[in-house]
C-alpha cells in the first residue's frame, strides 16, 4: 500500500485523540487488477485509525478486488469536509456520524446513510476517575468542555436533564480537540465528545484514569457512531452494495482473527504502531458492524424524534430521507 505521510496537519491540542499521530493526508490506492474494475472513492472522517479497520482490511486482503472494485481511500484535509464533498458529488462515499447526518439533512445537504461502520456509540462524557465528579449531578456549577458545537451540546443537555439538571447547570467551554489536556490540567471538570476507545486509553497512558458516562445510559437513544453516507441522487447502488459486501468480509475477518488483523492493519503505516493505537484496536474491533448494509429503521426514527424533542431540528423527517437499505429490491 503506497502512502505519503505528511506532518502538515495534527489534531488540535498537545494531546487530543492521538498524542503523536501524524495526520495521514494521503490517498491510499487499491492496486489495479489484470481486468478493469469499477472505481469508487471513499473519504474518511479523519486520518486513518483503528475505527477504519474493516475498510483497510478489505483493501489489504483483496476483498474489494474480489467484488470488482478499485477503491480510492482518502483522508480529508478538514474533518468537516467529507459529507460536503459527497453532497457536492466530489466523492462517492464518506465516513460520517449518524447524529451529524440528521443535522446535515435538515440543513439541506443531499446525503443518506447507506451503510454502517461502527454500530454502537463511541462518544461519552469523561471526567477524571480520581477527581470530585462521581456522577453527572456532581457537574452542577462546573465547566464542561465540548469538541464540536451542535450535536455534542445536545447530548450534554439530554444527559444533564436525565440527571435532574437544567441545561444551564454547567458552564460550557469549547476546547476544540484538546480533550485529554483540558481534563488533566483541570481546565474543565468533564468533556463531552471524547471517544471511549481513544481518550480513555490516552488518559490512562498519561497516568490519569478517566471515568466514562455513556450517553445511551443517560437519556440518549442508541445510535450508529460511524456510517457511510452517499448522495441519494447520484449514488450507484450496485457499487455501494459490493463495497459493503467487501467491508463485511473485512469486519468478519477482524472479528475472527483480531491479532492477525491488527498486524495487517498496523503494518500499513508506522504512525499506527504505538501503544495508543494498539489499545484502541482492542477496544474497537468488537464494535464494527458485521452486517454493514443492514439498516435499523427504528434507531433512525428514534434519534430523529429525540433531536426534535430537544429542539435541535425543526421537524421530524421520515427515515427514508435519512437512511436506505441499498440491498433492498
Is the domain of 47 the same as that of 96? Answer: yes
Is the domain of 98 the same as that of 247? Answer: yes
51 within some domain: yes
Is the domain of 197 the same as that of 59? Answer: no
Is the domain of 229 the same as that of 206? Answer: no
Residue 190: what pLDDT?
Answer: 95
Name the nearest CA neighbour of 220 among 200, 201, 197, 192. Answer: 192
Is the domain of 110 the same as that of 235? Answer: yes
| Whether the Cβ atoms of residue 49 and residue 277 lie closer than 8 Å to each other | yes
The length of the chain, given as a count of residues: 329
Separation between Cα atoms, residue 131 and residue 208, nearest integer Å: 10
Q: Which domain holds residue 299?
A: 27-120+224-321
Is the domain of 150 the same as that of 186? Answer: yes
161 within some domain: yes
232 within some domain: yes
Is the domain of 200 the same as that of 244? Answer: no
Separation between Cα atoms, residue 132 and residue 33, nearest integer Å: 58
Is the domain of 116 the same as that of 256? Answer: yes
Query: How many Cβ atoms are within 10 Å of 328's Cβ, its own excluded?
Result: 8
Domains: count for the chain: 2
Domain end point (choices 173, 197, 217)? 217
| Whether the Cβ atoms of residue 322 and residue 304 lie closer than 8 Å to each other | yes
Side by side, the strands of the sheet bearing 171-174 are: 171-174, 143-146, 190-195, 123-128, 210-213
Burial of 76: CB neighbours in 10 Å, binned 0-12, 13-18, 19+: buried
Is the domain of 186 the same as that of 255? Answer: no
Separation between Cα atoms, residue 95 and residue 86, nearest integer Å: 10
Query: 243-262: b or e for each residue (b if 16 or more CB lie within 10 Å)?
Result: bbbbbbbbbbbbeeeeeebb
What angle do helix axes 237-256 and 258-266 make, rounded to 10 degrees?
120
| Whether the Cβ atoms of residue 67 and residue 243 lie closer than 8 Å to each other | yes
326 within some domain: no
207 within some domain: yes
Domain end point (choices 189, 217, 245)? 217
328 within some domain: no
Domain end point (choices 217, 249, 278)? 217
129 within some domain: yes
Is the domain of 60 the same as that of 134? Answer: no
Is the domain of 212 the same as that of 244? Answer: no
pTM: 0.88
| Average pLDDT of adjacent 10-residue blocks, the chain of 329 residues | 37 40 40 69 96 98 98 93 96 97 97 98 95 96 89 95 95 86 91 93 94 96 98 97 98 97 97 97 97 97 98 97 94
36 within some domain: yes
Q: Pull the grid cell for residue 254.
A: 477482524
Is the domain of 111 the same as that of 240? Answer: yes
| Whether the Cβ atoms of residue 59 and residue 73 lie closer than 8 Å to each other | yes
Q: Any idea what the CATH number is for the domain that residue 180 is in?
A: 3.40.190.10
Separation between Cα atoms, residue 57 and residue 262, nearest integer Å: 9
Phi and psi at residue 267, in whole multiples of 5°?
Answer: -70, -10
Amino acid at each position: 500500500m503506497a502512502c505519503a505521510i505528511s506532518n502538515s496537519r495534527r489534531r488540535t491540542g498537545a494531546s487530543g485523540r492521538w498524542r503523536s499521530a501524524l495526520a495521514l493526508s494521503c490517498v491510499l490506492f487499491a492496486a489495479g487488477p489484470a481486468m478493469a474494475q469499477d472505481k469508487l472513492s471513499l473519504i474518511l472522517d479523519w486520518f486513518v485509525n483503528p475505527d477504519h479497520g474493516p475498510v483497510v482490511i478489505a483493501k489489504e486482503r483483496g476483498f474489494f478486488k474480489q467484488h470488482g472494485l478499485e477503491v480510492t481511500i482518502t483522508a480529508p484535509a478538514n474533518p468537516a469536509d467529507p459529507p460536503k464533498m459527497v453532497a457536492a458529488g466530489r466523492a462517492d462515499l464518506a465516513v460520517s456520524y449518524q447524529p451529524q447526518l440528521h443535522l446535515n439533512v435538515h440543513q439541506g445537504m443531499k446525503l443518506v446513510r447507506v451503510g454502517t461502520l461502527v454500530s454502537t456509540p463511541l462518544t461519552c462524557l469523561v471526567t477524571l476517575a480520581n477527581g470530585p465528579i462521581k456522577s453527572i449531578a456532581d457537574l452542577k456549577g462546573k465547566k464542561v468542555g465540548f469538541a464540536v458545537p451542535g450535536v455534542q451540546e445536545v447530548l450534554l443537555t439530554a444527559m444533564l436533564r436525565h440527571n435532574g439538571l437544567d441545561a444551564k447547570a454547567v458552564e460550557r467551554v469549547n476546547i476544540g480537540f484538546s480533550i485529554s489536556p483540558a481534563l488533566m490540567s483541570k481546565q474543565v471538570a468533564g468533556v463531552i465528545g471524547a471517544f471511549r476507545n481513544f481518550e480513555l486509553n490516552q488518559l490512562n497512558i498519561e497516568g490519569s484514569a478517566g471515568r466514562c458516562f455513556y450517553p445511551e445510559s443517560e437519556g440518549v437513544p442508541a445510535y450508529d457512531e460511524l456510517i457511510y453516507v452517499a448522495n441519494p441522487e447520484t449514488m450507484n447502488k450496485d457499487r455501494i452494495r459490493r463495497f459493503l459486501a467487501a467491508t463485511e468480509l473485512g469486519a468478519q475477518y477482524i472479528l475472527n482473527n483480531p491479532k492477525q488483523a491488527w498486524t495487517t492493519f498496523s503494518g500499513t503505516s508506522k504512525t499506527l504502531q504505538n501503544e495508543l493505537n494498539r489499545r484502541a484496536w482492542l477496544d474497537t474491533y468488537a464494535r464494527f458492524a458485521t452486517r454493514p448494509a443492514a439498516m435499523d429503521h427504528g434507531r433512525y426514527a428514534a434519534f430523529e424524534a429525540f433531536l426534535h424533542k430537544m429542539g435541535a431540528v425543526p421537524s421530524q423527517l421520515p427515515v427514508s430521507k435519512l437512511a436506505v437499505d441499498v440491498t433492498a429490491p
